[in-house]
Amino acid sequence: MTKRGPLLTILAVVVLGLGLFTVNMTGEKTREQDTAGTVTAVTGAAAPAATTAAAAAPAAGFPAEAAYAGRTAGNEATIAIAVKDGKAVAYLCDGKQAEAWLEGTATGAALSLTGPDGASLQGTLDNGAVFGRASAKGKEWAFSAATAKAPAGAYRGQVSVAGVTKRIGWTVLQDGTKTGLTNTGGQLSAAPDLDPVTRTATLDGVPVQVTPLTGAQ
């Protein structure tokens, strides 16, 4: 009994130790699995979904050839624009004391034109119409111009009366509105009436040579 007692005690301690070691290892594995699961879950929740930014649709550019006609925002002046193969020309006129012949480019959906004495036009094509700002004779206006079909557009006339050359400009809107001025050496006066269908006009009894404005000019 004296020898077996210590042996039994030692065996009991060993068995208890093994049991505790097994329990401890099982707990560690469980914790590792739980931790791994937690990391996976968190990573999955935190990972942002891949997104692709939708590229903004580019504005439609000007067609190969087109014409536009319209008014300034306050109806102070009318404007006609002609575009062809990336080139653009325009005539701005208030029918009283301001006019401007402008030329420039139509790049993509943007217009950029300039003229004498600081005249300018900047515009953008949007849904078939041109919107922008134009200036002439120290005045500046916002404008809009819709797609125009003949006889709407801009016209240029020239005539010699008593040896004096006179240049005439007209804008014709889609509703038939006509605005124009006669330029005689820088002096502006009212333009004669224009028939845009037959392209005829008469100044002081003399027939005027009339040509429509196109982007190629």
Residue-level pLDDT at 53: 33
Contacts of 54 (CB under 8 A, 6+ apart): none
* 118, burial (CB in 10 Å: exposed 0-12, middle 13-18, buried 19+): exposed
- For the entire predicted model, the pTM comes to 0.72
* Measured distance CA(119)–CA(135) in Å, rounded: 5
The predicted pLDDT at position 87 comes to 96
Backbone torsions φ then ψ of 68, nearest 5 degrees: -135, 145
pLDDT-above-70 percentage for the chain: 72
pLDDT tier, 1 (very low <50, low <70, confident <90, very high otherwise): very low
Mean pLDDT of 112-140: 96
pLDDT in tens, 29-79: 444 444 344 333 323 333 333 333 334 445 689 999 999 999 999 999 999
Residue % of the chain over a pLDDT of 90 = 71
Q: If pLDDT is split at 50, 70 and 90, which confidence band does 111 have?
A: very high
Average pLDDT over residues 129-134: 98
* pLDDT tens-place string over residues 171-200: 999 999 999 999 999 999 999 999 999 999
Q: Are 182 and 168 in contact (CB under 8 A)?
A: yes
The mean predicted confidence, pLDDT, of the chain is 81
Q: How far apart, in whole angstroms, are the C-alpha atoms of residue 72 and residue 99?
A: 13
pLDDT at position 59: 60
Report how far residue 117's alpha carbon sits from residue 136's, in angstroms, rounded to the nearest whole number. 8
The residue that leads in pLDDT, 4 or 66, is 66
CB 203 within 8 A of CB 100: no
pLDDT at 215: 80
Q: To the nearest 5 percent, what fractions of the chain are helix, strand and coil?
A: 20, 45, 35
Identify whether the C-beta of residue 180 lies closer than 8 Å to the C-beta of residue 195. no
